[in-house]
């Protein structure tokens, strides 16, 4: 390998539950409005139009128990989501083959600068400032599908300071995990290390410094965070 003129960036590595080895992250794709009740609360039609995607940066993901409140926003929302971590990729993946590409699953939060997102929507501008900021994607340890299978149902929930704020079920997704992978692979060539955040149920809301956020997906895991 040739030398680099500046230090090469470190790979982004996420914990795998019960293992010393970690999961290396390549890209992070996120699905918008994948639960009907959340689409409605955001003022959109929940009909089954094709899913749309946006991205976070690989290094926005991390394992940790702290979410540092970001700069440049005064309205930062939580969105609890099922996270898929891919062991294999490809283009034009069939729905029937899609789940065989998944290494494992985790619980994640798609933290969003909602004020910046609202402004971007009004001005037809991109969402990166709202979605792809530092520490915007805390995730739990990845649980291998070899251990838990491919969850189709299971409560998806999030509490702030002990009060339930989000409560849904994986079976309420408009587009299933297999369908998301298939659709995503019609636009992008997926590869090992790609991570997909699959959308959030209703109940999104703002956090403030000092909040304790605890969230989970039954059968997958839990994540607890202090907003700092």
Which of 43-51, 76-84, 159-167, 173-181 is the region at the interface with Mn ion (rule: CB under 5 A)? 76-84
Query: What is the b/e burial string over 33-52, where b = at least 16 CB atoms within 10 angstroms of the residue's CB?
Result: bbbbbbbebbeeebeeeebe
State the nearest-atom distance from the C-beta of 15 to Mn ion, in Å: 22
CB-wise, 79 or 183, nearer to Mn ion?
Answer: 79
DSSP string, 122-159: HTT--SHHHHS-TT-EEBPPBEEHHHH---S--EEEEE
Is the CB of 78 or the CB of 144 nearer to Mn ion? 78
CB of 105 closer than 8 Å to CB of 145: yes
Q: Report the candidate in 221, 228, 166, 227 with the shortest Cα–Cα distance to residue 199.
A: 166
28 or 182, CB closer to Mn ion?
A: 28
- CB nearer to Mn ion: pick between 52 and 94: 52
Nearest position to Mn ion, beta carbon:
110
Q: Which of residues 200-219 bind Mn ion (CB under 5 A)?
A: 200
Task: Give 32's strand partners.
Answer: 52
Contacts of 129 (CB under 8 A, 6+ apart): 72, 113, 116, 120
Q: Please give the DSSP secondary-structure letter assigned to residue 100.
A: G
**Nearest residue to 61 via CA among 113, 12, 130:** 12
Give the binding-site size for Mn ion (rule: CB under 5 A): 3
The contact mask relative to Mn ion for 163-202 (x = CB under 5 A, - = no) is -------------------------------------x--
Considering only residues 79, 93, 106, 138, which one is a binding residue for Mn ion as defined by CB under 5 A?
79
* Contact call for residue 110 and Mn ion (CB under 5 A): yes
Q: Is the Cβ–Cβ distance between 31 and 53 less than 8 Å? A: yes
What is the C-alpha to C-alpha distance for residues 222 and 154, in angstroms, rounded to an integer?
13
Comparison of 112 and 144: residue with beta carbon closer to Mn ion? 112
Which listed range, 62-70, 73-81, 117-125, 159-167, lies at the site for Mn ion (CB under 5 A)? Answer: 73-81
Please state, as a whole number, how many other Cβ atoms lie within 10 Å of the Cβ of residue 1. Answer: 4
Region near Mn ion per CB under 5 A, out of 78-86, 90-98, 135-143, 169-177? 78-86
> Rounded to the nearest whole angstrom, what is the least distance from the CB of residue 81 to Mn ion in the complex?
6
- Is residue 56 at the binding interface for Mn ion, with CB under 5 A as the rule? no
Q: Give me the residues that bind Mn ion (CB under 5 A), please.
A: 79, 110, 200
């Amino acid at each position: 390998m040739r030398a680099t003129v500046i230090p090469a960036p470190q790979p982004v590595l996420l914990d795998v539950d019960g293992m010393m080895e970690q999961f290396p992250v390549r890209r992070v794709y996120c699905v918008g409005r994948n639960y009907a009740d959340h689409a409605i609360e955001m003022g959109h039609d929940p009909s089954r139009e094709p899913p749309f995607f946006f991205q976070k940066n690989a290094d926005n993901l991390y394992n940790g128990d702290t979410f540092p409140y970001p700069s440049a926003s005064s309205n930062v929302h939580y969105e609890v989501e099922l996270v898929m971590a891919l062991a294999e990729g490809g283009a034009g993946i069939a729905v029937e083959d899609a789940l065989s590409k998944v290494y494992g699953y985790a619980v994640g939060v798609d933290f969003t600068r909602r004020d910046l997102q609202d402004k971007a929507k009004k001005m037809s501008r991109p969402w990166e400032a709202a979605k792809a900021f530092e520490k915007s994607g805390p995730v739990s340890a990845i649980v291998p599908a070899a251990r838990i299978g491919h969850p189709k149902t299971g409560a998806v929930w999030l509490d702030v300071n002990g009060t339930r704020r989000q409560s849904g079920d994986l079976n309420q997704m408009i587009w299933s995990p297999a369908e998301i992978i298939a659709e995503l692979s019609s636009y992008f060539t997926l590869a090992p290390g790609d991570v997909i955040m699959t959308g959030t149920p209703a109940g999104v809301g703002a956090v403030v410094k000092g909040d304790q956020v605890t969230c989970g997906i039954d059968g997958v895991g839990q994540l607890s965070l202090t907003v700092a």
